[in-house]
Amino acid sequence: MEEKILKAKKGMPILLISVFAYLFAIALIIVGAVMLENGQELGTLPMVVGILWATLGFIPFIGLKILKPQEALVLTLFGKYIGTLKGDGFYFVNPFCGSVNPAAKTKLNQSGDVDAKNSSKLVLSTGEANVNVAVASNKISLKVMTLNNNRQKINDCLGNPIEIAIAVMWRVVDTAKAVFNVDNYKEYLSLQCDSALRNIVRIYPYDVASNVDTTGDGIADEGSLRGSSEIVAERIRNEIQQKVRDAGLEIIEARITYLAYAPEIAAVMLQRQQASAVIDARRMIVDGAVGMVEMALEKLSENDIVHLDDERKAAMVSNLLVVLCGSKDAQPIVNSGSLY
Protein backbone atom coordinates (compact mmCIF):
# COMPACT_ATOMS: atom_id res chain seq x y z
CA MET A 1 0.00 0.00 0.00
CA GLU A 2 1.40 3.36 -1.05
CA GLU A 3 1.25 6.47 1.07
CA LYS A 4 -1.21 9.21 0.09
CA ILE A 5 -0.73 12.73 1.42
CA LEU A 6 -4.04 14.14 2.65
CA LYS A 7 -4.80 17.80 1.98
CA ALA A 8 -6.76 18.97 5.00
CA LYS A 9 -8.49 22.28 5.69
CA LYS A 10 -7.16 24.78 8.17
CA GLY A 11 -8.58 24.16 11.60
CA MET A 12 -8.83 27.73 12.95
CA PRO A 13 -11.80 28.85 10.76
CA ILE A 14 -13.71 25.67 11.64
CA LEU A 15 -12.99 26.21 15.33
CA LEU A 16 -14.25 29.82 15.24
CA ILE A 17 -17.35 28.87 13.26
CA SER A 18 -18.16 26.04 15.70
CA VAL A 19 -17.71 28.29 18.74
CA PHE A 20 -19.93 31.02 17.24
CA ALA A 21 -22.48 28.34 16.30
CA TYR A 22 -22.58 27.24 19.93
CA LEU A 23 -23.09 30.81 21.08
CA PHE A 24 -25.84 31.23 18.46
CA ALA A 25 -27.47 27.97 19.64
CA ILE A 26 -27.49 29.25 23.23
CA ALA A 27 -29.06 32.49 22.02
CA LEU A 28 -31.73 30.52 20.10
CA ILE A 29 -32.57 28.52 23.22
CA ILE A 30 -32.94 31.68 25.27
CA VAL A 31 -35.04 33.43 22.60
CA GLY A 32 -37.25 30.35 22.18
CA ALA A 33 -37.78 30.06 25.92
CA VAL A 34 -38.75 33.74 26.15
CA MET A 35 -41.17 33.42 23.21
CA LEU A 36 -42.82 30.34 24.73
CA GLU A 37 -43.10 32.11 28.05
CA ASN A 38 -44.93 34.95 26.28
CA GLY A 39 -47.30 32.46 24.68
CA GLN A 40 -45.76 32.53 21.19
CA GLU A 41 -45.73 29.02 19.72
CA LEU A 42 -43.13 30.04 17.12
CA GLY A 43 -40.55 29.90 19.91
CA THR A 44 -40.58 26.11 19.70
CA LEU A 45 -38.59 26.02 16.44
CA PRO A 46 -35.56 28.12 17.53
CA MET A 47 -35.49 26.34 20.85
CA VAL A 48 -35.44 22.88 19.18
CA VAL A 49 -32.73 23.99 16.73
CA GLY A 50 -30.62 25.39 19.57
CA ILE A 51 -30.96 22.23 21.65
CA LEU A 52 -30.03 20.00 18.67
CA TRP A 53 -26.89 22.02 17.95
CA ALA A 54 -25.93 22.12 21.62
CA THR A 55 -26.29 18.33 21.69
CA LEU A 56 -24.53 17.49 18.40
CA GLY A 57 -22.29 20.53 17.93
CA PHE A 58 -19.31 18.77 19.49
CA ILE A 59 -18.87 16.61 16.37
CA PRO A 60 -16.86 19.22 14.37
CA PHE A 61 -14.47 19.56 17.30
CA ILE A 62 -13.54 15.88 16.90
CA GLY A 63 -12.16 16.63 13.44
CA LEU A 64 -9.69 19.22 14.73
CA LYS A 65 -6.13 17.88 14.72
CA ILE A 66 -2.88 19.48 15.89
CA LEU A 67 0.42 18.21 14.47
CA LYS A 68 3.88 19.14 15.68
CA PRO A 69 6.94 19.15 13.41
CA GLN A 70 7.94 15.67 12.20
CA GLU A 71 4.60 14.09 13.11
CA ALA A 72 1.98 12.35 10.96
CA LEU A 73 -1.49 10.88 11.29
CA VAL A 74 -2.67 7.86 9.28
CA LEU A 75 -6.42 8.32 8.81
CA THR A 76 -9.08 5.76 7.94
CA LEU A 77 -12.78 6.26 7.23
CA PHE A 78 -14.98 3.28 8.09
CA GLY A 79 -11.98 0.95 7.68
CA LYS A 80 -10.69 2.44 4.41
CA TYR A 81 -7.37 4.23 4.22
CA ILE A 82 -7.97 7.78 2.98
CA GLY A 83 -4.54 9.35 3.47
CA THR A 84 -1.80 10.57 5.76
CA LEU A 85 -1.84 14.00 7.34
CA LYS A 86 1.66 15.52 7.45
CA GLY A 87 3.11 18.92 8.27
CA ASP A 88 2.92 20.87 11.50
CA GLY A 89 -0.19 22.96 12.01
CA PHE A 90 -3.84 23.04 13.05
CA TYR A 91 -6.10 21.06 10.70
CA PHE A 92 -9.69 19.96 10.24
CA VAL A 93 -10.53 16.53 8.83
CA ASN A 94 -13.68 14.47 8.57
CA PRO A 95 -14.84 14.02 12.19
CA PHE A 96 -15.68 10.37 11.49
CA CYS A 97 -12.06 9.58 10.49
CA GLY A 98 -10.01 7.50 12.86
CA SER A 99 -6.23 7.60 13.32
CA VAL A 100 -4.30 4.32 13.26
CA ASN A 101 -0.96 3.54 14.90
CA PRO A 102 -0.55 -0.10 16.06
CA ALA A 103 2.82 0.70 17.65
CA ALA A 104 1.54 3.59 19.78
CA LYS A 105 1.72 1.62 23.04
CA THR A 106 4.84 -0.37 22.18
CA LYS A 107 7.80 0.46 24.42
CA LEU A 108 11.24 -0.68 23.34
CA ASN A 109 14.70 0.30 24.51
CA GLN A 110 14.78 3.25 22.14
CA SER A 111 14.29 6.98 21.89
CA GLY A 112 10.91 8.41 21.00
CA ASP A 113 8.80 5.91 22.89
CA VAL A 114 5.98 7.09 25.12
CA ASP A 115 6.75 6.59 28.78
CA ALA A 116 5.05 7.43 32.04
CA LYS A 117 6.87 10.76 32.39
CA ASN A 118 6.34 12.13 28.90
CA SER A 119 2.91 10.73 28.00
CA SER A 120 -0.26 12.70 28.52
CA LYS A 121 -2.24 11.65 31.57
CA LEU A 122 -5.95 11.45 32.27
CA VAL A 123 -6.83 11.94 35.93
CA LEU A 124 -9.80 9.87 37.09
CA SER A 125 -11.39 10.66 40.42
CA THR A 126 -12.56 7.60 42.41
CA GLY A 127 -13.83 9.48 45.46
CA GLU A 128 -10.94 8.58 47.74
CA ALA A 129 -7.99 8.75 45.34
CA ASN A 130 -7.03 9.96 41.89
CA VAL A 131 -5.85 7.44 39.30
CA ASN A 132 -3.46 8.55 36.52
CA VAL A 133 -4.03 6.75 33.22
CA ALA A 134 -1.40 7.20 30.49
CA VAL A 135 -2.96 8.06 27.14
CA ALA A 136 -0.82 7.08 24.16
CA SER A 137 -1.13 9.21 21.04
CA ASN A 138 -1.80 7.67 17.62
CA LYS A 139 0.55 10.14 15.96
CA ILE A 140 3.48 8.60 14.12
CA SER A 141 6.86 10.21 14.71
CA LEU A 142 8.90 10.92 11.58
CA LYS A 143 12.00 11.85 13.57
CA VAL A 144 15.23 9.86 13.51
CA MET A 145 15.09 7.44 16.44
CA THR A 146 17.69 5.17 18.00
CA LEU A 147 17.02 1.54 18.85
CA ASN A 148 19.46 0.16 21.43
CA ASN A 149 19.43 -3.55 20.79
CA ASN A 150 20.04 -5.72 23.84
CA ARG A 151 23.21 -7.76 24.15
CA GLN A 152 23.06 -11.08 22.37
CA LYS A 153 25.21 -14.16 22.77
CA ILE A 154 26.22 -15.36 19.30
CA ASN A 155 28.83 -17.83 18.06
CA ASP A 156 31.34 -16.37 15.61
CA CYS A 157 32.58 -18.28 12.56
CA LEU A 158 35.04 -20.23 14.74
CA GLY A 159 32.35 -21.27 17.20
CA ASN A 160 33.49 -18.97 19.99
CA PRO A 161 30.57 -17.47 21.95
CA ILE A 162 30.65 -13.68 22.02
CA GLU A 163 28.36 -10.97 23.35
CA ILE A 164 27.48 -8.12 21.00
CA ALA A 165 25.03 -5.20 21.01
CA ILE A 166 24.18 -2.64 18.33
CA ALA A 167 22.48 0.75 18.10
CA VAL A 168 20.33 1.36 15.03
CA MET A 169 19.29 4.83 13.83
CA TRP A 170 16.02 4.63 11.89
CA ARG A 171 12.93 6.57 10.86
CA VAL A 172 9.55 6.07 9.20
CA VAL A 173 9.50 7.16 5.54
CA ASP A 174 6.21 5.56 4.39
CA THR A 175 3.49 5.71 7.03
CA ALA A 176 1.01 3.58 5.05
CA LYS A 177 3.45 0.68 4.74
CA ALA A 178 4.48 1.01 8.40
CA VAL A 179 0.88 0.81 9.61
CA PHE A 180 -0.74 -1.62 7.17
CA ASN A 181 2.04 -3.89 5.83
CA VAL A 182 3.18 -5.18 9.24
CA ASP A 183 1.36 -5.79 12.48
CA ASN A 184 3.64 -3.59 14.63
CA TYR A 185 6.51 -1.83 12.90
CA LYS A 186 8.53 -1.25 16.10
CA GLU A 187 8.45 -4.90 17.15
CA TYR A 188 9.08 -5.92 13.53
CA LEU A 189 12.18 -3.71 13.41
CA SER A 190 13.51 -5.09 16.71
CA LEU A 191 13.05 -8.68 15.52
CA GLN A 192 14.76 -8.01 12.19
CA CYS A 193 17.69 -6.36 13.98
CA ASP A 194 18.22 -9.52 16.03
CA SER A 195 18.02 -11.72 12.93
CA ALA A 196 20.37 -9.57 10.83
CA LEU A 197 22.89 -9.34 13.66
CA ARG A 198 23.08 -13.13 13.92
CA ASN A 199 23.37 -13.57 10.15
CA ILE A 200 26.35 -11.20 9.87
CA VAL A 201 28.23 -11.99 13.08
CA ARG A 202 28.44 -15.72 12.31
CA ILE A 203 30.48 -14.87 9.17
CA TYR A 204 33.31 -13.15 11.07
CA PRO A 205 35.78 -14.31 13.73
CA TYR A 206 36.15 -12.19 16.84
CA ASP A 207 39.79 -11.55 16.01
CA VAL A 208 41.86 -12.11 12.89
CA ALA A 209 42.10 -15.83 12.12
CA SER A 210 43.86 -17.70 9.34
CA ASN A 211 41.98 -19.46 6.51
CA VAL A 212 38.75 -17.50 7.11
CA ASP A 213 36.88 -15.96 4.18
CA THR A 214 34.54 -13.16 5.34
CA THR A 215 33.77 -11.64 1.92
CA GLY A 216 32.58 -14.74 0.09
CA ASP A 217 35.18 -14.51 -2.70
CA GLY A 218 36.90 -17.75 -1.69
CA ILE A 219 40.08 -16.00 -0.54
CA ALA A 220 41.09 -15.81 3.12
CA ASP A 221 41.26 -12.24 4.43
CA GLU A 222 41.89 -10.34 7.63
CA GLY A 223 38.30 -9.40 8.40
CA SER A 224 37.20 -9.62 12.04
CA LEU A 225 34.56 -8.23 14.36
CA ARG A 226 37.13 -6.35 16.38
CA GLY A 227 39.27 -5.03 13.54
CA SER A 228 36.61 -4.46 10.86
CA SER A 229 33.85 -2.93 12.98
CA GLU A 230 32.96 -0.28 10.36
CA ILE A 231 32.55 -2.88 7.61
CA VAL A 232 30.58 -5.20 9.88
CA ALA A 233 28.27 -2.36 10.96
CA GLU A 234 27.62 -1.38 7.34
CA ARG A 235 26.78 -4.97 6.41
CA ILE A 236 24.41 -5.17 9.38
CA ARG A 237 22.73 -1.93 8.25
CA ASN A 238 22.26 -3.22 4.70
CA GLU A 239 20.90 -6.52 5.98
CA ILE A 240 18.33 -4.77 8.20
CA GLN A 241 17.36 -2.34 5.42
CA GLN A 242 16.53 -5.21 3.04
CA LYS A 243 14.27 -6.78 5.64
CA VAL A 244 12.36 -3.62 6.70
CA ARG A 245 11.96 -1.94 3.29
CA ASP A 246 8.42 -3.34 2.94
CA ALA A 247 7.57 -1.87 6.35
CA GLY A 248 8.27 1.69 5.16
CA LEU A 249 11.33 2.16 7.38
CA GLU A 250 14.74 3.60 6.55
CA ILE A 251 17.85 2.43 8.39
CA ILE A 252 20.21 5.39 8.55
CA GLU A 253 23.07 3.87 10.49
CA ALA A 254 24.02 0.86 12.61
CA ARG A 255 26.84 0.89 15.16
CA ILE A 256 28.35 -1.81 17.38
CA THR A 257 28.07 -0.56 20.95
CA TYR A 258 29.37 -3.61 22.83
CA LEU A 259 31.66 -6.46 21.80
CA ALA A 260 33.34 -9.01 24.07
CA TYR A 261 33.86 -12.71 24.55
CA ALA A 262 31.18 -14.48 26.56
CA PRO A 263 32.04 -14.76 30.29
CA GLU A 264 32.56 -18.53 30.14
CA ILE A 265 35.53 -18.22 27.76
CA ALA A 266 36.68 -14.66 28.45
CA ALA A 267 39.41 -15.72 30.91
CA VAL A 268 40.79 -18.39 28.55
CA MET A 269 40.83 -15.99 25.60
CA LEU A 270 42.59 -13.38 27.73
CA GLN A 271 45.33 -15.86 28.55
CA ARG A 272 45.57 -16.71 24.86
CA GLN A 273 45.95 -13.04 23.93
CA GLN A 274 48.59 -12.56 26.64
CA ALA A 275 50.53 -15.59 25.39
CA SER A 276 50.34 -14.32 21.83
CA ALA A 277 51.62 -10.92 22.94
CA VAL A 278 54.53 -12.50 24.85
CA ILE A 279 55.47 -14.62 21.81
CA ASP A 280 55.40 -11.60 19.51
CA ALA A 281 57.54 -9.62 21.94
CA ARG A 282 60.06 -12.46 22.28
CA ARG A 283 60.24 -12.86 18.51
CA MET A 284 61.04 -9.19 18.13
CA ILE A 285 63.71 -9.38 20.84
CA VAL A 286 65.37 -12.42 19.23
CA ASP A 287 65.35 -10.80 15.77
CA GLY A 288 67.01 -7.70 17.23
CA ALA A 289 69.55 -9.72 19.21
CA VAL A 290 70.61 -11.76 16.18
CA GLY A 291 71.07 -8.57 14.18
CA MET A 292 73.19 -7.04 16.93
CA VAL A 293 75.39 -10.17 17.17
CA GLU A 294 75.93 -10.18 13.41
CA MET A 295 76.85 -6.51 13.50
CA ALA A 296 79.29 -7.07 16.42
CA LEU A 297 81.09 -9.91 14.64
CA GLU A 298 81.32 -7.92 11.41
CA LYS A 299 82.76 -4.88 13.19
CA LEU A 300 85.34 -6.98 15.03
CA SER A 301 86.40 -8.62 11.79
CA GLU A 302 86.49 -5.41 9.73
CA ASN A 303 88.53 -3.46 12.26
CA ASP A 304 90.89 -6.41 12.80
CA ILE A 305 90.47 -6.07 16.54
CA VAL A 306 90.53 -9.77 17.37
CA HIS A 307 90.59 -13.02 15.46
CA LEU A 308 88.21 -15.67 16.75
CA ASP A 309 87.94 -19.25 15.66
CA ASP A 310 84.59 -20.97 15.25
CA GLU A 311 84.51 -22.25 18.80
CA ARG A 312 85.17 -18.80 20.29
CA LYS A 313 82.67 -17.22 17.95
CA ALA A 314 80.06 -19.71 19.13
CA ALA A 315 80.83 -18.89 22.76
CA MET A 316 80.62 -15.16 22.05
CA VAL A 317 77.32 -15.53 20.22
CA SER A 318 75.94 -17.57 23.11
CA ASN A 319 77.00 -14.98 25.67
CA LEU A 320 75.62 -12.06 23.66
CA LEU A 321 72.28 -13.80 23.09
CA VAL A 322 71.98 -14.54 26.81
CA VAL A 323 72.65 -10.89 27.62
CA LEU A 324 70.36 -9.48 24.96
CA CYS A 325 67.47 -11.97 25.24
CA GLY A 326 67.43 -12.43 28.99
CA SER A 327 64.48 -11.12 30.96
CA LYS A 328 66.81 -9.86 33.71
CA ASP A 329 69.93 -7.73 33.61
CA ALA A 330 73.11 -9.83 33.20
CA GLN A 331 75.80 -9.68 35.87
CA PRO A 332 79.23 -9.11 34.20
CA ILE A 333 82.16 -11.37 35.15
CA VAL A 334 85.66 -10.02 34.51
CA ASN A 335 88.06 -12.67 33.22
CA SER A 336 91.57 -11.75 34.35
CA GLY A 337 93.20 -14.80 32.80
CA SER A 338 93.73 -15.90 29.23
CA LEU A 339 90.87 -16.80 26.92
CA TYR A 340 92.84 -19.88 25.91
* pLDDT at residue 300 in the model: 73
* Confidence check: pLDDT of 316 > 80: no
The mean pLDDT value for 128-142 works out to 62
* Confidence check: pLDDT of 111 > 70: no
The DSSP call for residue 97 is -
Neighbour count for residue 263 (Cβ, 10 Å): 10
Tens-digit pLDDT profile for residues 207-265:
887 778 788 777 878 888 888 889 999 999 999 999 999 999 999 999 999 998 888 77
Domain 141-261 class?
alpha beta
The DSSP call for residue 309 is -
Contacts of 181 (CB under 8 A, 6+ apart): 1, 246, 247, 248
The mean pLDDT value for 134-144 works out to 78
Least Cα distance to 190 among 253, 146, 126 occurs for 146
* pLDDT at residue 334 in the model: 53
Q: What is the pTM of this model?
A: 0.71
Q: Which segments of 206-303 does DSSP mark as H helices, in order?
A: 229-244, 263-302
Least Cα distance to 229 among 158, 167, 161, 146 occurs for 167
Measured over all CA atoms, what is the biggest interatomic distance in the chain, rounded to whole angstroms?
150
Whether the CB-CB separation of 147 and 113 falls below 8 Å is answered with no
Whether the CB-CB separation of 164 and 154 falls below 8 Å is answered with yes
Q: How far is residue 127's CA from residue 122's CA, in Å, rounded to a whole number?
A: 15
Q: Compare 41 and 155 and report the one with higher pLDDT.
A: 155
DSSP string, 141-176: E-S-EEEEPPPEEEE-TTS-EEEEEEEEEEEES-HH
Q: How far is residue 31's CA from residue 21's CA, in Å, rounded to a whole number?
A: 15
Q: How far is residue 294's CA from residue 292's CA, in Å, rounded to a whole number?
A: 5
Whether the CB-CB separation of 177 and 1 falls below 8 Å is answered with yes
